[in-house]
Amino acid sequence: MLAIDPLLEGGLLWTPLFIVIAKVLIIFGLGLVSTMLMIWYERKVVSGMHNRVGPNKAGPWGILQSLADGIKAFFKEDLLPTRADRIVFRLAPFLSFVPGFLIWSVIPLGGDFSDGQDGTIEIFGEVTRVQLADPPIGILLVLALSSIAVYGIMLAGWASGSKYPLLGSVRASAQMISYEAALGLSLAAVLLSSGTLSTAGIVQGQDSFVDWNVISTGIVPFVIFLIAATAELNRPPFDLVEAEQELVGGFNTEYSGIRFALFFLAEFMGVVTMSAVMVTLFLGGPQGLFDVPLIPGAIEGTLWFFVKLMGFLYLYVWLRATLPRLRYDQLMDFGWKILIPIALGWFLLLAALREFSPDGEFGDSLRVVLISFAVGIVAVALFGAALRVSARNRSDAFDAENPSDDTPSRSTTARSTQNGATV
């Protein structure tokens, strides 16, 4: 069985073949157009946050600026460094760009999943899903393809024959290893709740708001997945792979022309794709909060899907505009010492709740949410205590390195300020 999609169960006929080809073209166009719009959207939103105008020349509101930049990059000279590996250097951009399109093939983009329906629609007398394919291992395919994208970055840095791209590629590989484990553990919580690896099956199991996995799994896996996905995408504050202040341009320093444009598109394609994955896994995919009148169920599902998608895209732009970049040691410590232990502990907690519930399921979602908030309060308290200890240690170290009889120490000043006294 290659897919659950009923379109492919009746053999290879002309009508199903036509529908499949149409799906491929639509997904390719949707991925490309959404990526270019995401570039324009991010530049426009960030410019608004900076009190600037942003793109405003090409097309209305500058919406065609990304297309103009792509055409310009297409005609730029494609430079090849002398010390570069010719084959790998030219192949690397495609290894980063293509997986984003392939992930879109297993994402349910619409369909009516309300009231226990399976999300299928009828086109030209054929029953099919609003997605290219629905393999039984759809989520594993998403993980595999998202992991392949980092190979393009790694090979680009190695094949450039330059030290700065090489440093960027080493950072990318270490970052992927550090955060892939936390991402996988948070995903395991979703699979424990859904009981299936099929993306359509996961969406079908979230038939009401309280059944959305962001609630039924206790919010924690969603937050961990969001943070780990941000690190996987090399987005701020985890953009150490292309840190301009340290690595000139990172892994793509030696690239120009259309190959640089492919890396640029791959970054924004990853943002849109991973946002779509999070909508599917945690927010019910095409499932709506309420019924929209006068709109068919399949179209309504697509509208809800893109509304949720826009929320994630705005969140990523907001993070870029507000958060500073982490140091490399902070990046590693956060992944290995905080995210992975929390993700593993939460997965074990959910497994215990499922095991000891009378019906073999999670039971009341409210119970999981209350436990989530209790654990979150304890975690915040412990984190705050750790920050205070770290600040006190830094103050003591500063006082030890800079002794002075006339100037009060930082720690003394801080303690006096807290007590309302004056030194």
Rounded Cα–Cα distance for residues 276 and 285 (Å): 8
State yes or no: cis peptide before 237, omega within 30 of 0. Answer: yes
Per-residue confidence (pLDDT) for residue 290, from 0 to 100:
78
Per-residue confidence (pLDDT) for residue 415, from 0 to 100:
46
* 421, pLDDT greater than 60: no
Q: Hey, which bits of 9-129 come out as E strands?
A: 120-123, 126-129
- Which residues on neighbouring strands pair with residue 123, listed in sequence order? 126
HSE of 25 in the Cβ direction (CA atoms, 13 Å)?
Answer: 6
Confidence of residue 224 (pLDDT cuts 50, 70, 90): very high
Per-residue confidence (pLDDT) for residue 225, from 0 to 100:
93
- Which residues on neighbouring strands pair with residue 129, listed in sequence order? 120
Confidence of residue 399 (pLDDT cuts 50, 70, 90): confident
273, 265, 197: which is closest to 27 by C-alpha? 273
* 277, pLDDT greater than 90: yes
Quick: pLDDT tens for 230-247. Answer: 988 888 888 877 776 666
Rounded Cα–Cα distance for residues 347 and 353 (Å): 10
The answer to whether 242 and 175 are in contact (CB under 8 A) is: no
Lowest mean pLDDT among 7-11, 33-37, 258-262, 370-374: 7-11
β pairing state of 120-123 and 126-129: antiparallel
Burial status of residue 211 (CB atoms within 10 A of its CB: 0-12, 13-18, 19 or more): middle
45, 49, 10: which is closest to 314 by C-alpha? 45
* 414, pLDDT greater than 50: no
Rounded Cα–Cα distance for residues 109 and 304 (Å): 9
Mean pLDDT of 46-70: 87
Cα-flanking dihedrals φ and ψ of residue 287, to 5°? -65, 135
232, 85, 79: which is closest to 151 by C-alpha? 232
The answer to whether 53 and 328 are in contact (CB under 8 A) is: no
The answer to whether 242 and 249 are in contact (CB under 8 A) is: yes
pTM summary value: 0.82
Which position has the higher pLDDT, 358 or 158?
158
Rounded Cα–Cα distance for residues 264 and 221 (Å): 29
Return the structure tokens found at 366. 């409210």
Per-residue confidence (pLDDT) for residue 288, from 0 to 100:
79
SS3 112: coil
Burial status of residue 92 (CB atoms within 10 A of its CB: 0-12, 13-18, 19 or more): buried
SS3 188: helix
Quick: pLDDT tens for 148-163. Answer: 888 888 888 888 888 8
The answer to whether 66 and 40 are in contact (CB under 8 A) is: yes
| 420 alpha carbon, distance to own chain's centre | 46
Per-residue confidence (pLDDT) for residue 309, from 0 to 100:
92
Cα→Cα distances 125→7, 10, 400, Å: 10, 13, 80
DSSP code, position 243:
-
Per-residue confidence (pLDDT) for residue 282, from 0 to 100:
92
Rounded Cα–Cα distance for residues 121 and 107 (Å): 15
Q: Which residues, 6 or more positions from 282, have their beta carbon under 8 angstroms from its beta carbon?
A: 190, 212, 213, 214, 217, 221, 222, 225
| 197 alpha carbon, distance to own chain's centre | 19
